Amino acid sequence: MRAYIPAYDLRVPGNLSEALAILGREPGVWQPFAGGTDLMVLLEAGKLSHRKFLSLTKLADFRGVEVTSGAVILGALTTYMEIQRHPGLQSEFPLLCTAARETGSIATQNRGTIGGNIVNASPAADSPPALLVYDAEVELVSERGVRWLPYHGFHTGYKKMQIAADELLRAIRLPRRAEPWKQYYRKVGTRKAQAISKVCFAGAAQMEDGIVRGIRIALGSVAPIVLRAVRAEASIRGKKITPELIAATKDILGHEIAPIDDIRSTARYRLRVAQNLLAEFLMQLAR
C-alpha cells in the first residue's frame, strides 16, 4: 500500500536557529532528514510511520568540507559524490571514498549524505566502518549548545544513538595522521552494485620493521551496530604477522562479532566471510 501524502507534515527551516527552535519546542515530534534516500523507500512502500518531518536541505552550516592542519571536517550534508571527488579525502581517507562509491546507485550517491548515513543507524551502512577506522568524531548541536563525541561508542544499540531528540548532527571530524597507514576496505553483497552489505570490512594499520604498531578494524552487518573489533586489534598490535597469529585472530573475531540470519544472508556465512576478510587484510599487511 502506498503512502497518502496529505497525511504527512513537512517543514523546511531556512537556517540552523529556526531548525533548532522547532526541535527544542517539540522534541521527538519532528524527525529531521537530509537526502531522504531511505525515507523515500519507506514512503513508497507505505511503511513510513512517522508523520512530521524537518528537511535540513537549506542549512548552510551543514555543508562543505574544511581542511585544517589537524583534521578534515565534513558537514553532515556532504554527499557521497562530494566525498568521492574531494582530493584531500582521496589522498588521506581513501576508505571513506571507497565506501561512498559502494553506496547505492549514482542517484543515491548524488543525494545521500554522510550525516544521514550515520543517524539512520543501520548496522549494514557502508561508510561507518571507515569512520570507525579513522577515529572520527561527531558534532551535535541544539539550543542548549554544542558537543563533540567520539564516533566509536556513538551507536549504543540497534537504531539507538547518543543523540537527544532536540539535537542535530552537524559535522564529522577526521583527525589527520602524519605517518602512513596501510588501508583495506571490502564490501560483500549479493551484487557488485546497489546491494545492502552482507559483510562490510574496513581496516588500517601502521607497520614498522614487519611489526604492527597501530591497527584499526571495523565491520558492518555482523552485530546490532557497526562494530570496532577492539579484541581482535589487541591480539595483533605489537606483533609480527604469522599464519599462527592470523588463525588465532580469526578465532577471536569469531567470538567478538554476533551476526544473524536474515533475508540477505545467514549468520554462518557472515561469520566465515568476516574471518576471511580479516585474514586477507592481515596477509596484505604481511606482504
Instruction: Check pLDDT > 70 for residue 38.
Output: yes
DSSP 199: E
**132 within 8 A of 218, measured Cβ to Cβ:** yes
pLDDT of residue 152: 97
**Percent residues over pLDDT 90 in the chain:** 83
pLDDT of residue 279: 98
Assigned C-alpha cell, 281: 587484510
Which residue did the predictor score with more confidence, 76 or 47? 76
**190 within 8 A of 273, measured Cβ to Cβ:** no
Which residue did the predictor score with more confidence, 127 or 3? 127
Which residue did the predictor score with more confidence, 40 or 113? 113
Binned at pLDDT 50, 70 and 90, residue 191 comes out as confident
CB atoms within 10 A of CB 279: 16
Binned at pLDDT 50, 70 and 90, residue 43 comes out as confident
Assigned C-alpha cell, 90: 582521496
Instruction: Check pLDDT > 80 for residue 46.
Output: no
Binned at pLDDT 50, 70 and 90, residue 255 comes out as very high
**Percent residues over pLDDT 70 in the chain:** 99
Average pLDDT, the chain: 94
Which residue is associated with the grid cell 594499520?
205
Strand-pair category, 199-208 with 211-220? antiparallel
How does pLDDT run across 115-145, given as a tens digit for each residue? 999 999 999 999 999 999 999 999 999 999 9
Element (H, E) at 157: strand 155-157
**Lowest-pLDDT range of 6-10, 159-163, 230-234, 276-280:** 6-10
pLDDT of residue 1: 56
- Rounded to an integer, the average pLDDT of 156-167 is 96
**222 within 8 A of 199, measured Cβ to Cβ:** yes
Instruction: Check pLDDT > 90 for residue 8.
Output: no
Identify the CATH assignment for 60-175 out of 3.40.50.1240, 3.40.50.10890, 1.20.1070.10, 3.30.465.10. 3.30.465.10
All structural domains of the chain with their residue ranges: 5-55, 60-175, 182-286
- Rounded to an integer, the average pLDDT of 239-246 is 98
- Rounded to an integer, the average pLDDT of 50-67 is 94
Assess if CATH 3.30.390.50 describes domain 182-286: yes
CA 185, 274, 208, 72 dihedral sign is positive
Identify the CATH assignment for 5-55 out of 3.40.1350, 1.10.10, 3.30.43, 1.10.3470. 3.30.43
pLDDT of residue 190: 83
Instruction: Check pLDDT > 80 for residue 42.
Output: no
Which residue is associated with the grid cell 497518502?
4
Least Cα distance to 104 among 2, 203, 198, 197 occurs for 197
Query: Is residue 43 exposed (0-12), middle (13-18) or buried (19+ Cβ within 10 Å)?
Result: middle
How does pLDDT run across 215-228, given as a tens digit for each residue? 999 999 999 999 99
- Rounded to an integer, the average pLDDT of 176-196 is 88
- Rounded to an integer, the average pLDDT of 240-260 is 97
**228 within 8 A of 220, measured Cβ to Cβ:** no
CA distances from 23 to 34, 100, 144 (A): 15, 29, 11
pLDDT of residue 2: 67
How does pLDDT run across 63-93, given as a tens digit for each residue? 999 999 999 999 999 999 999 999 999 999 9
- Rounded to an integer, the average pLDDT of 232-254 is 98
**210 within 8 A of 239, measured Cβ to Cβ:** no
